[in-house]
């Protein structure tokens, strides 16, 4: 995470929320988040070998990445102040995170993140059920298939 200019904002149960581009954004934030996601995914097999040997169990993870505007800074009140992030983009990344349950060890990205990348990763579009589509406001969702560039594609904006 840190290697790719990300910071852990908070730990949440069995997961965490990381920020890229805070407090100052750059044109490489989406690429940095994707690189961190692939690095986490690659490290999972070593983690699972250790867990299997030591505890007889393994873990799965799902990674979601969304690019959007947020408010970041010290938020709270006098007795409880936290450096954190708020905004609809935070809600969107958590909606994406819920979708990862159907893609064990997968990385899902939003259309916004795909549009923000210059590296053009190999992706496959995810079909979202009609009952969930309204929560994403028509935004497309993609699974990252490989770090290597995929076939050329175009993302249209309305």
C-alpha–C-alpha distance, residues 155 and 113, integer Å: 11
What is the structure's pLDDT at 133? 79
pLDDT tens profile 107-156: 999 999 999 998 888 899 998 888 777 788 889 999 999 876 655 444 44
How far apart (Å, rounded) are the C-alpha atoms in residues 118 and 102? 27
Give mean pLDDT, residues 86-103: 93
> What pLDDT does 149 receive?
63
- Residue ranges covered by each domain of the chain: 2-149
Tokens found for residue 22: 């805070």
Buried b / exposed e over 83-98, threshold 16 CB at 10 Å, is ebbeeebbebbebbbe
Q: For residue range 7-54, list pLDDT tens digits in order.
A: 888 898 888 999 998 888 889 999 999 999 999 999 999 999 999 999
pLDDT of 110 reads: 95
Largest CA distance in the chain: 52
Strands 63-65, 15-20: pairing is unpaired
CB atoms within 10 A of CB 119: 12
User: Are the CB atoms for 127 and 108 separated by under 8 Å?
Assistant: no
Q: Which CATH class is domain 2-149?
A: alpha beta
Helix (H, G, I), strand (E, B) or coil at 117: coil
Which pairing describes strands 63-65 and 107-110: parallel, antiparallel, or unpaired? parallel
Please say if the pLDDT value at position 70 is more than 50: yes
Distances in whole angstroms, Cα of residue 138 to Cα of each of 27, 33, 91, 98:
25, 23, 15, 17
């Amino acid at each position: 995470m840190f290697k790719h200019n990300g910071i852990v904002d908070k730990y949440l149960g069995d997961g965490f929320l990381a920020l890229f581009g805070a407090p100052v954004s750059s044109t490489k934030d989406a690429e940095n988040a994707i690189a961190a996601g692939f690095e986490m995914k690659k490290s999972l097999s070593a983690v699972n070998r250790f867990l299997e040997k030591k505890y007889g169990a393994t873990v799965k993870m799902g990674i979601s990445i969304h690019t959007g505007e947020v408010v970041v800074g010290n938020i709270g009140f006098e007795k409880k102040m936290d450096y954190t992030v708020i905004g609809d983009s935070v809600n969107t990344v958590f909606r994406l995170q819920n979708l990862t349950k159907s893609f064990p060890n997968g990385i899902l990205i939003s259309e916004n993140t795909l549009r923000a990348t210059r590296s053009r990763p190999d992706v496959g579009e995810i079909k979202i059920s009609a009952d969930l589509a309204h929560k994403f406001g028509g935004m497309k969702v993609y699974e990252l298939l490989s770090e290597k560039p995929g076939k050329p594609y175009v993302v249209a904006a309305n």
